[in-house]
């Protein structure tokens, strides 16, 4: 007999296949092929464990993460003594000597790197050792040479050579044929870029050596070195950290060719593509690093012995339940797999069914890209994986347990074998020794075992029900309907390809809800804040360490939290802020000799707060100011005074830092922020506009918070005074809002950061109350253009919403939803097939920023009133949204028809006065906590709605 779940599933698939798939399941992503790339796979998460489900038929891959597995260790990040250089850096900037200021800051003002003290000596010793071999020894056939195709644009780590995460020395060799006509001529050998250093030999003679990832290697090969016919090329590649190898494959000029010196490289002879490599050394000293990187944990691989034709394949993610599925028929038998990440049990649970008894057979394995790892049998139903990060103190353990109905289970030190079961349930748990940013004494074995005990005793049905209930408690607080078209019936990857706002408005609704799905999945109380990739990461060397960039990305991640009714999901952000505020005191002291706390443009799990990377963009002082604004905004939305009371010290200490840090500009007498940077644009400067907007708002918000709490009267006074002395927003000669103190904006500049527009969004420094400045900001955005990386597009959506231009916002949203995977195999800004945002690479900020932007188009509340449908695009003539949150503690639902508001429902959660604006009309009324107020589209109390909730207006 078929399992009832499978019967139900078959029935539903039959019904949906024969009717309208899309509309019956508007909240799902689905595909007719298994994932090929990681960004095709479907993400699951419970805020601690993340998983990517590939849905393969012969082999299922579940790549997973645990949110606390990072490189690094608790340590001091600030540079003692940096503050003594501060006056000189400021003087140089004031004198217009930017290059000198940056050079001095690079030398003395950046934070401390891990291993910086020991590295130089260790590196020298290691280099002596690895360069001690002769070329003859290195190229000897007896070394363990392996064949390779030289396709490693992203380093040997992802070239499928078994070198994942490896740093060290690798020899590469191949040959080339010298045309007879070139005899006696010197040649040029073009190798493109190499990470990090190389020593290159032709026929055993060194022809070149260089270091640096941006230098394109082109070496002269003297005629005397060359032989008629076959010539041998050998390259010793030395990789100190991060990605490694011959990475020049993307060059415009031909690479891997030789040609006569001075000739056109296109006329060159290609090197023999049959390269070989051998690993000489994989133990270089640990490279200095400013901050730590988020790490992958491992993979569950399920190998299925069945072969034979597959029919009716489908994989999907139902975001209304947070459950993924893969189903297909093989040799006439139906197979169904389900997967979810349970937050209540902190486990990933999967189940496999078949349409006939005894059909579930598989080998389950655990593997990990970490070099330091071990797989072992824990008990007769459980396999374990232990990993230790290479550069750091964290280790983790993961347990995979199976429970079957029927069949036989055998566990060895390599795998779990299931033969002939009727069905199988898999439970995956994982934990690390991370306790908090200062303490790594947790016991991963104990934690993973505890979680396993909590989950594996329960039936799948019970766990799934509990999971769905827990998830929907958050997810169901919001719904949106922007209209429907037949394209909804297409698989998601097809919908993306065919997308336009009119062809498929429901894809946008799905995209917004997917943003909420990703938030619930990656950020839950007790877990870490969503990082650059949320909770999902496959690489040991992820871009920007998959950490927290605070000059836009981290904050953008949380834009939808309050607005889209997921306030509880922001808890990990506030924890991060409190910890950064603690850690940032040492940085304020060491770098600025100032009280309070400061955070620069990045942080990590160890709460690094000092400047990192380079002095031209790493010295940006307002990370803490921006994060403090999120506290105040959260209070404005929720009216949660207890939250404000708890977090007020963070705001106060951030403000205290700036009261000390600001200096008076001798030219204008304004208070300015120096040294700093308009994020990643224009180098180290005095007085970037964004800083002044941020600090002004910090001072005002902190004063307002003190007033709400009835404390710190004198400090309030100081803050108000200082706020009024700060350099104001200035309008420049192109009618633009100036990005800097000086009127030097380039109107042709299309830089992705639009930092000086912070005051428009997410700030409130510039509103329609000041139309002139608003207009200048709009001019600046117009000049910047409509293009951008993922997050840059998302920011522009929100800005156009605040400029009340819904059609423009929608044009940008259309770009945000353009396919990231193009036909040539390269990637561009947009969305991947699994709707992950592409910077590229994958960065989750665009998903969150885009979801928030759609909310801003429908409701704004930052300027002291509820602005209904402030930027409704013409392409959304009819729709409905329920559950948007507005400042003042309101939950708002709206219905509109032919571009006109029809119904409004406002639930008051805090009993505040409510001011509503729409179509030039304003309505002001007092509210009672818990009451619902219903209005018609012209803002009159809705006569049809006096029933539930009871409206009680008092004008």
The reply on whether position 54 binds ligand FUC by CB under 6 A is no
Closer residue to ligand FUC (CB): 334 or 553: 553
Q: Which of 446, 448, 475, 465 is nearest to 347 (CA)?
A: 448
List the helix and strand counts (H, then E) for the chain.
Answer: 21, 44
| Contact yes or no for 657/588 (Cβ under 8 A) | yes
Closer residue to ligand FUC (CB): 109 or 791: 791
Closer residue to ligand FUC (CB): 200 or 522: 522
Pick out residues in 668-687 that bind ligand FUC (CB under 6 A).
680
Cβ contacts of 669 within 8 Å, gap of 6 or more: none
Task: Mark residues 493-532: x for contact with ligand FUC by CB under 6 A, - for none.
Answer: ---------------------------------------x
Q: Which of 848, 864, 873 is nearest to 916 (CA)?
A: 864
Residue 713: CB minimum distance to ligand FUC, A: 40
Residue 560: CB minimum distance to ligand FUC, A: 18
Element of type H or E holding 644? helix 641-661
Closer residue to ligand FUC (CB): 335 or 791: 791
Site size with ligand FUC, rule: CB under 6 A: 9
Residue 753: CB minimum distance to ligand FUC, A: 6
The reply on whether position 549 binds ligand FUC by CB under 6 A is yes
CA pair distance 247, 20, nearest whole angstrom: 47
Closer residue to ligand FUC (CB): 231 or 789: 789
Q: Pairing between strand 866-868 and 914-918?
A: parallel
Q: Is 419 exposed, middle or buried (0-12, 13-18, 19+ CB in 10 A)?
A: middle
Pick out residues in 834-893 that bind ligand FUC (CB under 6 A).
839, 843
The reply on whether position 604 binds ligand FUC by CB under 6 A is no
Cβ contacts of 444 within 8 Å, gap of 6 or more: 395, 396, 397, 430, 431, 432, 433
Q: How far is CA 659 from the centre of its chain?
A: 33
Pick out residues in 751-810 that bind ligand FUC (CB under 6 A).
789, 791
Cβ contacts of 462 within 8 Å, gap of 6 or more: none
Residue 213: CB minimum distance to ligand FUC, A: 17
CA pair distance 765, 781, nearest whole angstrom: 16
Closer residue to ligand FUC (CB): 366 or 552: 552
Closer residue to ligand FUC (CB): 320 or 543: 543
Closer residue to ligand FUC (CB): 544 or 832: 544
Residue 665 falls in which region: left (phi positive, over 0), alpha (psi -120 to 50) or beta: beta
Residue 684: CB minimum distance to ligand FUC, A: 15
Residue 692: CB minimum distance to ligand FUC, A: 21
Closer residue to ligand FUC (CB): 553 or 673: 553
Residue of 553, 565, 629, 639 interacting with ligand FUC (CB under 6 A): 553
**HEC sequence for 259-281:** EECCCCHHHCEECCCCEEEEEEE
- Using DSSP, state whether 873 is helix, strand or coil: coil
Residue of 54, 171, 517, 544 interacting with ligand FUC (CB under 6 A): 544
* Cis peptide bond prior to 611, omega within 30° of 0: no
Q: Distances from the Cα of 344 to the Cαs of 51, 341, 467, 473, 730, in angstroms?
A: 16, 9, 7, 12, 51
Residue 837: CB minimum distance to ligand FUC, A: 11
Closer residue to ligand FUC (CB): 368 or 553: 553
Q: Which of 52, 70, 50 is nearest to 61 (CA)?
A: 52
Residue 843: CB minimum distance to ligand FUC, A: 6
Q: Please spell the DSSP secondary structure of 549-564, one letter per residue.
A: ETTTHHHHHTHHHHHT
Task: Mark residues 814-843: x for contact with ligand FUC by CB under 6 A, - for none.
Answer: -------------------------x---x
- Using DSSP, state whether 250 is helix, strand or coil: helix
Closer residue to ligand FUC (CB): 217 or 753: 753
Which residues would be at the binding site for ligand FUC (CB under 6 A)?
532, 544, 549, 553, 680, 789, 791, 839, 843
């Amino acid at each position: 007999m078929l399992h009832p779940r499978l019967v139900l599933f078959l029935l539903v698939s039959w019904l949906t296949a024969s009717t309208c798939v899309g509309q019956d399941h508007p909240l799902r992503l689905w595909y007719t092929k298994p994932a090929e790339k990681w960004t095709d796979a479907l993400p699951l998460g419970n805020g601690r464990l993340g998983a990517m489900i590939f849905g393969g038929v012969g082999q299922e891959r579940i790549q997973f993460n645990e949110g606390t597995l990072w490189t690094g260790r608790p340590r001091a990040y600030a540079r003692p003594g940096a503050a003594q250089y501060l006056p000189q850096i400021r003087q140089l900037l004031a004198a217009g000597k930017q290059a000198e200021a940056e050079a001095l800051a690079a030398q003395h003002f950046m934070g401390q790197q891990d291993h910086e003290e020991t590295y130089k000596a260790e590196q020298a010793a290691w280099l002596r050792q690895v360069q001690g071999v002769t070329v003859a020894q290195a190229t000897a056939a007896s070394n363990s040479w392996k064949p390779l195709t030289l396709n490693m644009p992203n380093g040997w780590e992802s070239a499928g050579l078994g070198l994942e995460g490896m740093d060290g020395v690798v020899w590469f060799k191949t040959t080339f044929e010298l045309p007879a006509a070139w005899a006696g001529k010197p040649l040029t050998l073009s190798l493109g870029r190499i990470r990090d250093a190389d020593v290159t030999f032709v026929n055993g003679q060194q022809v070149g050596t260089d270091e640096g990832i941006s230098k394109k290697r082109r070496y002269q090969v003297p005629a005397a070195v060359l032989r008629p016919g076959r010539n041998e090329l050998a390259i010793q590649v030395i990789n100190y950290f991060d990605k490694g190898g011959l990475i020049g494959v993307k060059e415009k000029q031909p690479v891997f060719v030789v040609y006569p010196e001075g000739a056109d490289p296109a006329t060159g002879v290609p090197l023999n593509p049959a390269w070989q490599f051998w690993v000489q050394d994989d133990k270089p000293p640990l490279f200095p690093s400013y901050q730590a990187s988020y790490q992958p944990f491992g993979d569950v691989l399920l190998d299925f012995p069945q072969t034979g034709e597959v029919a009716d394949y489908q994989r999907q993610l139902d975001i209304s339940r947070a459950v993924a599925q893969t189903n297909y028929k093989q040799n006439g038998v139906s197979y169904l797999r389900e997967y979810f990440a349970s937050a209540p049990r902190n486990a990933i649970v999967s189940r496999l069914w078949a349409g006939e008894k005894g059909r579930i057979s598989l080998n389950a394995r655990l593997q990990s890209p970490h070099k330091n790892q071990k797989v072992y049998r824990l008990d007769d139903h459980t396999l374990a994986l232990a990993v230790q990060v290479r550069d750091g103190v964290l280790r983790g353990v993961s347990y995979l347990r199976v429970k079957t109905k029927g069949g036989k289970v055998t566990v060895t030190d390599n795998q779990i074998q299931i033969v002939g079961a009727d069905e199988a349930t898999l439970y995956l748990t994982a934990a690390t020794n991370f306790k908090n940013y200062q303490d790594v004494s947790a016991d991963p074995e104990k934690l993973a075992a505890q979680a396993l005990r909590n989950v594996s005793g329960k039936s799948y049905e019970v766990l799934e029900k509990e999971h769905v209930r827990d998830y929907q408690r958050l997810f169901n607080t919001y719904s949106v309907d922007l209209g429907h078209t037949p394209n909804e019936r297409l698989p998601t990857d097809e919908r993306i390809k065919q997308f336009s706002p009119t062809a498929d408005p429901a894809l946008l609704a799905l995209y917004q809800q997917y943003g909420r799905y990703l938030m619930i999945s990656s950020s839950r109380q007790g877990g870490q804040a969503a990082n650059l990739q949320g909770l999902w990461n496959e690489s040991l060397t992820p871009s920007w360490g998959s950490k927290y960039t605070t000059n836009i990305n981290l904050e953008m991640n949380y834009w939808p939290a309050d607005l889209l009714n997921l306030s509880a999901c922001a808890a990990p952000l506030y924890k991060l802020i409190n910890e950064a505020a603690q850690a940032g005191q040492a940085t304020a002291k060491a770098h600025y000799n100032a009280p309070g706390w400061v955070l620069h443009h990045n942080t990590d799990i160890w709460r690094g707060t000092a400047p990192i990377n380079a002095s031209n963009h790493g010295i940006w002082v307002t990370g803490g100011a921006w994060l403090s604004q999120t506290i105040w905004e959260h209070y404005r939305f929720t009216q949660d005074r207890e939250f404000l009371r708890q977090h007020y010290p963070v705001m106060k200490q951030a403000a205290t830092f700036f009261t000390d840090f600001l200096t008076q500009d001798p030219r204008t007498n304004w208070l300015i922020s120096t040294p700093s940077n308009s994020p990643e644009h224009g180098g180290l400067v005095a007085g970037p506009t964004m800083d002044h907007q941020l600090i002004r708002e910090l001072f005002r918000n902190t004063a307002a918070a003190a007033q709400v709490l009835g404390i710190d009267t004198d400090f309030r006074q100081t803050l108000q005074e200082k706020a009024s002395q700060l350099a104001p927003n200035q309008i420049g000669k192109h009618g633009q809002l100036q990005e800097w103190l000086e009127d030097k904006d380039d109107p042709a500049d299309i830089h992705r950061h639009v930092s000086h527009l912070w005051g428009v969004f997410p700030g409130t420094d510039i509103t329609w109350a000041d139309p002139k400045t608003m207009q200048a900001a709009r001019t600046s955005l117009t000049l910047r253009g409509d293009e951008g990386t993922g997050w840059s597009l998302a920011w522009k959506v929100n800005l156009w919403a605040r400029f009340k231009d819904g059609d423009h916002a929608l044009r940008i949203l259309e770009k945000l939803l353009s396919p990231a995977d193009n036909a040539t195999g390269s990637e561009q800004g947009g969305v991947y097939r699994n709707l992950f945002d592409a910077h590229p690479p994958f960065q989750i900020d665009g998903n969150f920023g885009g979801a928030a932007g759609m909310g801003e188009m429908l409701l704004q509340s930052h300027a002291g009133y509820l602005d209904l449908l402030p930027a409704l695009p013409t392409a959304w003539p009819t729709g409905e949204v329920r559950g948007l949150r507005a400042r003042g503690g309101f939950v708002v639902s709206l219905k509109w028809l032919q571009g006109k508001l029809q119904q409004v429902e406002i639930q008051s959660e805090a009993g505040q006065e409510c001011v509503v604006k729409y179509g030039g009309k304003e309505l002001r009324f007092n509210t009672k906590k818990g009451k619902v107020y219903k209005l018609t589209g012209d803002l009159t109390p809705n006569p049809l709605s006096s029933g539930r909730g009871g409206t009680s207006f008092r004008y």
